[in-house]
Amino acid sequence: MRLVDAHTHIYPAQHGQAIELAEQGLWQFVAATHPDDCARVLDLARVSQRIIPTCGLHPWRVADFEPRALKLKGVLEQVPIIGEIGLDTVWTEVPLAMQREAFVYQLQLAVALGKPVILHTKGAEAEELQWLRSYTPPKIMVHWYSGDAVHLAGYVDLGCYFTLGPDIQVNQTVQMVCQQVPLDRLLTETDGTEAIAWVTGEPCSLAAAPLVLESTLATAAAFRGLTPAQMQDAVYDNSLAFLSDCKGLLR
């Protein structure tokens, strides 16, 4: 299996399935969205080199935690990738000023530690881009971009990688990303089973993740004029390239 889920959320009851999928060859970048979740994700990642732990204080959860607390810094020092972090003016009522403090602090820390980041962007793409130009981590993954086309070029110019979400068949913005972002910076993601269920309108188990990723690859291949196998190889190579700055992961 040469598949990569470059951004997902795995819940405790799904740990066994995640490990089975890793054993079958699926790479999973598993996100903790709050410092209290990080220990669990780190423990899961110790089982397989194909489970990559990421952690960041998610913009929806910044009200729960003091961003400059020592615990947050300590957690982010343990993970190879910081995220998902970012700004959101659409799906949360958390004040933007509070989100901004947490985002900029984590971005600055990522730069200081030399760690890649995974970005959440929703409604604040212009501001987030400006902060990224001021504090630019070694690698940036924009997860499931849904912003305007006018801002996309700025992120591309920064060298960002972009994940293609599981709604690529119907989402014109995801299709735009697929067509306009350089092929060597495209990745695939599910965002976890809740996101898949949101897209399909039906509940699903983690076992469905490979089929969802294969469907995304087939649709992306058609947009790029490639075969599904060519698209799969490109995304797989891109994923390993993204991980190349994460010491101790590739062996």
Q: How does pLDDT run across 190-244, given as a tens digit for each residue?
A: 999 999 999 999 999 999 999 999 999 999 999 999 999 999 999 999 999 999 8
Which residues, 6 or more positions from 6, have their beta carbon under 8 angstroms from its beta carbon? 27, 29, 141, 143, 161, 163, 187, 188, 189, 239, 242
pLDDT at 1: 85
Q: What is the tally of helices (H) and strands (E) in the chain?
A: 10, 8
pLDDT at 251: 35
Radius of gyration, CA atoms only, the chain: 17
Instruction: Render pLDDT for 32-52 as a digit per residue (tens, 0 to 9).
Output: 998 889 999 999 999 999 999
For residue 71, what pLDDT band results from cuts at 50, 70 and 90?
A: confident
Compute the average pLDDT of residues 67-90.
87
Percent of the chain with pLDDT over 90: 88
Q: 131 — phi, psi (to 5°)?
A: -65, -40
Report whether 196 contacts 190 (CB < 8 A).
yes
Percent of the chain with pLDDT over 70: 96
Protein fold of 4-243: TIM Barrel (3.20.20)
Q: Is the pLDDT of residue 64 over 90?
A: no
Compute the average pLDDT of residues 71-81.
90
Interaxial angle between packed helices 15-23 and 35-45, expressed in degrees from 0 to 180 and rounded to the nearest 10? 40
Judge if the upstream peptide bond of residue 202 is cis by omega within 30 degrees of 0. Answer: no
Helix H or strand E encompassing 199: helix 193-200
Cα dist from 54 to 27, 31, 89, 139, 178, whole Å? 13, 5, 23, 14, 24
